[in-house]
Amino acid sequence: RKEVEQDPGPFNVPEGATVAFNCTYSNSASQSFFWYRQDCRKEPKLLMSVYSSGNEDGRFTAQLNRASQYISLLIRDSKLSDSATYLCVVDNYNTDKLIFGTGTRLQVFP
Amino acid sequence: NAGVTQTPKFQVLKTGQSMTLQCAQDMNHNSMYWYRQDPGMGLRLIYYSASEGTTDKGEVPNGYNVSRLNKREFSLRLESAAPSQTSVYFCASSVLQSSGANVLTFGAGSRLTVL
């Protein structure tokens, strides 16, 4: 089993739609969780950290489910500019390294 | 404030040639990293440096060497390039948040092709 797994997509959604991605992780001791965004041929950039209580940043909501070992990202009112690959990132508690998922590609169309 | 700067942006090598990827950060971060990104594989850690003067292997260190020249600079060297090292390379540096989490800032990437 991969340490961090994501559905690669692509998710093709119209503008204004709500879309959700899940990411599962294997190390139950992991403490830090993030969503990074990567545009085509660009570097990854931090979108948001994921806190135990869940957190929201504008149209983006991130949640953590420790019991089932997954994190989620919800995007409301999708914009064309949201088209990108979303990377799930989890710390490896044993080695203090960050493990990246392979990413979920989102394409928002007019 | 440039963040993380890496050079070159593009490079084509022949098998067996050597080259060094340069990385510098101006954010006074202690930790620096080199990742490679391949289709369907995600980002994989090659080497990292927790502080000036220390380096450690990551997930895929074979065929690479690194030097943490000072706090700002962390270089990645390919001594004898192989086609399997064709990839996009990202340098990153990190700061520890108050929550204890490491947040990475990446350079723009270096696209390397080995023929």
- Taking all residues of chain A, what is their mean pLDDT, rounded to a whole number? 92
B104 contacts in A (CB within 8 Å)? 36, 44, 46, 98
* The pLDDT of residue B108: 97
* The pLDDT of residue A107: 97
Strand partners for B49: B32
* The pLDDT of residue B67: 96
Q: Is the pLDDT of residue A1 over 90?
A: no
* The pLDDT of residue A103: 94
Q: Is the pLDDT of residue B1 over 70?
A: no
* The pLDDT of residue A93: 66
At residue B2 the predicted structure's pLDDT band, cuts being 50, 70 and 90, is confident
A43 contacts in B (CB within 8 Å)? 90, 106-109
B54-108 pLDDT, tens digit per residue, is 999 999 999 999 999 899 999 999 999 999 999 999 999 998 777 777 789 999 9
* The pLDDT of residue A95: 65
Question: How many angstroms separate the CA atoms of B25 and B8, rounded?
Answer: 15
* The pLDDT of residue B3: 93
- Taking all residues of chain B, what is their mean pLDDT, rounded to a whole number? 93
How close are the terminal C-alpha atoms of chain A, in Å? 37
A43 touches chain B (CB under 8 A): yes
> What's the gap in Å between the CA of B40 and the closest CA on chain A?
6
* The pLDDT of residue A92: 76
Helix (H) or strand (E) holding A20: strand A19-25
A100 touches chain B (CB under 8 A): yes
Task: Give the closest residue to A46 by CA, choosing from A37, A55, A57, A54.
Answer: A37
User: What percent of chain B lies above the pLDDT cut of 90?
Assistant: 81
Tokens 């270096």 belong to B110
DSSP string, A46-104: EEEEE-TT-EEETTEEEEEETTTTEEEEEE-S--GGG-EEEEEEEEETTTTEEEE---E
A42-96 pLDDT, tens digit per residue, is 999 999 999 888 899 999 999 999 999 999 999 999 999 999 999 999 987 666 6
B27 touches chain A (CB under 8 A): no
B87 touches chain A (CB under 8 A): no
Which tokens sit at B104?
A: 């990475």
Task: Give the closest residue to B95 by CA, choosing from B47, B45, B28.
Answer: B28
* The pLDDT of residue A12: 96
- Tell which wins on pLDDT, A1 or A13: A13
* The pLDDT of residue A40: 92
